[in-house]
Structures are given as structure tokens and as C-alpha cells.
Amino acid sequence: MAIPLIEKTAKNLVFTVQDFSLFAYQAAINLFRPPVYWPEFLTQSDIIGVGSATIVVLSGFFTGGVLALQSASTLAQFGATAVTGRFVSFSMIKELGPVLAGIMVSGRNASSMASELGSMVVTEQIDAMRALGVDPMRRLVTPRLFASVAMLLFLTIVADAFGILGGAFVTIFMNGQNATQYFHQAYQYLRWPDILQGLVKPLFSGFIIASVGCFHGMRTTGGTEGVGRSTIQAVVWASILIIFVDFLLTQLLLTVFP
Amino acid sequence: MSDAVGSKPRDAAARPDSPVVAFRAVSIGFANPVLHDIGFKVAPGETRILLGPAGVGKSVLLKLANGLLRPDSGSIQLFGEEIADMSEESLFSLRTRTGMVFQESALFDSLTVRDNVGYQLIQERVADDQIERRVREALSFVGLEQTFDLLPGSLSGGMRRRVAIARALIHQPELLLYDSPTGGLDPVTSTTIIELIMKQRDVSRTPSILVTHRLQDAFMLCTHRFDSAAGHMVPLPDGQSDPGTTFLMLDQGRLIFDGSLHELVHSEDEFVREFLE
């Protein structure tokens, strides 16, 4: 009884991974073959980039603040509160900024992509588009994919900057430390590989958010209930994959830039 | 195009007798078998009415006809080209020669009626003034010129269906596929839709496949013609039916009937008789 179930689950998993790989490849390769829908790319960049800016700014600012609060109390035991700026900037730029921006944008945009495309599937709008001779992959998926990659890069920089500012706010106004010392520490020990590490990750996160969101949306079945199911799956899988890929990338980049 | 949206006889003109659509031994299934060993043809100028109970696979058959679904086995020819194994890329250009009206209209919610009807023209980067003119013509054909700037959400079910017909006709298709165009509509609106389909059939002679489970719509199409001078449909003389309008019937995934109205009403098949009664 258990063996057939395991076999069926394993097969489903393999087929899903295969379908997802083909889907993501097709969406990516479309950018290099006409027609490319640039107006749609700009619209999606606005929705993803400008639309997500507020949540990224707020979550980045408060995460930086929390980091400063927590690190200051620990560092005080060693008489090292002076390095709070360094601690906050390293944590934000190398790890928290990219992951935080990825998770926040995933919650907002992977879900919206899955629900929007899912609704179009169940109301036959995707079939209508195909019947009118337009490729939904090119028209809907490819612009979302590249807008997501491009915008997540900028959103990560925004999250990093506001995280450092949040840390500065706590350090200066709540812990009563020197502002020059904080920013000096935050800047002085940063190396290019640290910044590179922080900027490579959002490229992967952006790809994951759009490809997973669109994949689940385009595979929606079962009416409006199916749309809800696709939306949940998109957010869950995008979030898990972002953290998993972050782990792999960190390991890889630490090997390359020890 | 004041009276009807015309059809462009491209390949059909080159080979006037070759079928527009030809199914040969087509089978398809998803979790369970849906259609089995289906074979029929649609000749130029012919209207084929596909009857059958709900869930029998009528919409699936229609989607097979323009390559939106792929058969598991068998051959499907559209405008003389084999589409069962054709790449999606090649199918896109072939589909621009067909027009399809979906069961629930499938209008793009975020676009105005103008952009919905002119969608294909916009994709082809046709000049704005031309798009405007052709959209207005298509909307005038379905009697909905006043909806030009509206969003689909503000239209009634019948109006949405008529906009969907205008969208299907704007590119002057060589084949029309209607998926339950009157499903869920009141009798008066249904008659308006059937009259539009009849107008397109009689004025432009565009071949079509019409899926329905409403016998009254099917019989009306057979027993009436569109009078261009009067601007409405009129009944054919008693005992006559449109010779270019014929029937197909599906039951349990199989094609159990292919013939004229006369043959349909005199069929000895038990299911056909039960369906008609």
C-alpha cells in the first residue's frame, strides 16, 4: 500500500521538477527572441519594484533596528559596542537584505502572479490569448520574470540601505552611541566580495519568485478554489526555494571569496 | 463590412473542395478517456452543429480543432495542415486564421472592449486609426458600438458574449469555433446571439463548428436564414432546412451521428431519439 503511494509521489515530484525546468527555460530564452513585450516589462517593473518599495523599506529599517538592539546588548558583555555598525552592515548586506527583500517580494508578488495568471487560466483567458495567436509565455511570463530579477536587485540595495539606517537610528538615538563611529564601522570593513555576495543573491531570488509564481498560476486547475491553492503553493515554494538557494549560494560564494 | 464581417478565402480558395477541418480517428483522454476514434470534416462554407449532453467532450473537441489541445492519437488537419504534431510556435500563426468564441466569453478583464476586440490588431501593431475603425465595425455588427470604452466587468452576460463574437470576427477568420455561445443566457438574448451567428453564416459563408446542448438554438439555425435586406432572420419555407448546416452528436466520447437535420430527426439511434425528446 505504501510503496505505490511513494512511487506515485516520487513520479509526480520528478514530473513537476521537469515541467518547472522547461517552463523556466522557455520563459528565460524568450527574452532573446522577438517579439519581446517591453511595455509589459515596464508595467511589471512598476508593479514589482515601485509597488514593493514601501514594504521593503519598512521591513529593512526595522530589521536593522532589531539587529542593532540585539547585537548591542550582546557586544556590551565584551565591551565591543563600538562595532555595532560593522555587525549591522555586514549582516544586512551579505545576508538579511537579500533574503528579507526576497521573502517580502515573494509574499507580495509570487502570490499576485499566481492568482492573476490562475484566474486567467480558469476563465479561459489564457486559451483565448492562444486562440488569438499570442504566446502567453512571451506576453505574460517573460516580462514578469525579467522585471522581477531587475527590480529585486534594486529592492535589495534599498533594503540594505534602510537596514543600516534603522541600525543607525537605534544605535544613535536609543543606545546613545556616536553616529560617526557607527557609519565608520559600517563602511570601513566592507570589501567588494561582501557587496558582490549580497548582489548576486537577489538575481536568483527574483528568478525564483517570478518563475514559481507564474508556474503555479499557469498550472491552475479546479476553478476559484484552485486559484487559492496555486497562490498558497507559489508563496510557500518561492519562500522555501529562496532560503535554500541562499544557503547554496552562501556556501559557494564563501568558497570563492573566503 | 457594413453588413457582416467578411471571411478571407486564402487557402480555401486555392483548393475549394478541400475540407477546412478534418478529424481522423482522433482520441484524447486526461485522467479518463474523453474522446475516442472521432472522425468528421468541415467543408468550406459549412456549419457543423455539435450536440451532446454536458461533459461529453464537446468543448474538448473544439479546442482540438485549433490546436489548443493535442490529441493522444489520430490526425487533425486545419486548412490542409496537420496540426496534431505541429509546434506551438507554428500553431500561433495558423490560429490567427480562426476565430473562437469561448463558453464564458473569456474577455480580458483588465482591457476595455476596444482593446479586447482589437487585441489581435494591437499585437500586429496595426495603426491606431485603423484599429479604431475596424473595432467600431465589428462592434456595430454585434450591435454594441456604445460599449467601445467600457470594461468587460460592466457588461451583461449577453453583451459579453456579443463582444466575444466581435473579437472572433475582427480578423476576418476562415473558420469560426463557437463554444456554447448561448449557454446560461435568457431566451431573448440567446436568439440575438443565434441571429448573429446566422448572419455571419449566410452573409460571409464562413465555415464554423458550433457546440451547443440547446436543441432550440440548433434547429433555429437550420430552419432560418438571415435576410440581409430586412436586417433580421426569417424562417425557411416549411420542410426546408439550410443545406450547409449539418449535425454531429457525441455520446460517451464517441461520435454517434453525422448528418443533416432530416437524418437527425429520423434517426433510429436510441440515444439520438432520447436526446431529441
Measured CA to CA, the distance from residue B158 to residue B161 in angstroms comes to 5
B37: Cβ contacts below 8 Å, ≥ 6 apart? B25, B26, B27, B74, B254, B255
B98/A125 CB distance under 8 A: no
pLDDT tens per residue across span B67-105? 999 999 999 999 999 999 899 888 998 999 999 999 888
Measured CA to CA, the distance from residue A18 to residue A9 in angstroms comes to 14
Measured CA to CA, the distance from residue A121 to residue A111 in angstroms comes to 15
Q: How far is B273 from chain A (nearest CA, A)?
A: 33
Chain A contact present for B107, CB below 8 A: yes
Q: Buried b / exposed e across B71-105, counting CB within 10 Å, b at 16+?
A: beebebbbbeeebbeeeeeebbebbbbbbbbbbbb
- Grid cell of B176 as nine digits: 469560426
Residues of chain B contacting residue A124, judged by C-beta atoms under 8 Å apart: 102-104, 106
Rg (CA), chain A: 21
Rg (CA), chain B: 18
Measured CA to CA, the distance from residue B45 to residue B185 in angstroms comes to 27
The predicted pLDDT at position B9 comes to 45
- Grid cell of A219 as nine digits: 498550472
B230: Cβ contacts below 8 Å, ≥ 6 apart? none
pLDDT tens per residue across span B152-209? 999 998 899 999 999 999 988 999 999 998 887 888 888 988 998 999 999 888 999 9
pLDDT tens per residue across span B32-78? 899 999 999 999 999 999 999 888 899 999 999 999 999 999 999 99
Query: Closest Cα partner for B42 from B23, B66, B58?
Result: B23
Chain A contact present for B38, CB below 8 A: no
Residue pointed to by grid coordinates 490529441: B71
Q: Buried b / exposed e across B195-229, counting CB within 10 Å, b at 16+?
A: bbbbbbbbbbbbbbbbbbbbeebbbbbbbbbbeee
CB B80 within 8 A of CB B15: yes
Chain B contact present for A131, CB below 8 A: yes
A127/B68 CB distance under 8 A: yes
- The ipTM is 0.88
pLDDT tens per residue across span A99-139? 999 999 999 999 999 999 999 999 999 999 999 999 999 99
A125/B106 CB distance under 8 A: yes
Option in B66, B88, B123 nearest A131 (CB)? B66
Measured CA to CA, the distance from residue B130 to residue A115 in angstroms comes to 35
User: Looking at residues B8-14, what average pLDDT do you find?
Assistant: 44
A134/B106 CB distance under 8 A: no
Q: Domains for chain B: give ranges and CATH numbers.
A: 12-97+175-276 (3.40.50.300), 104-170 (no CATH)
Please name every residue paired with A11 in a beta bridge, in sequence order, or none if there are none. none
pLDDT in 10s for each residue of chain A, 258 residues: 688 889 989 999 999 999 999 999 999 998 888 888 889 999 999 999 999 999 999 999 999 999 999 988 888 888 888 888 899 999 999 999 999 999 999 999 999 999 999 999 999 999 999 999 999 999 999 999 999 999 999 999 999 999 999 999 999 998 888 889 889 988 888 888 889 989 999 999 999 999 999 999 999 998 889 999 999 999 999 999 999 999 999 999 888 887
With 50 as the cut, is the pLDDT of residue B11 above it?
Answer: no
Other CB atoms within 10 Å distance of the CB of residue B168: 28
The predicted pLDDT at position B114 comes to 96
Which residue does chain A place closest to B106, by CA atoms?
A125
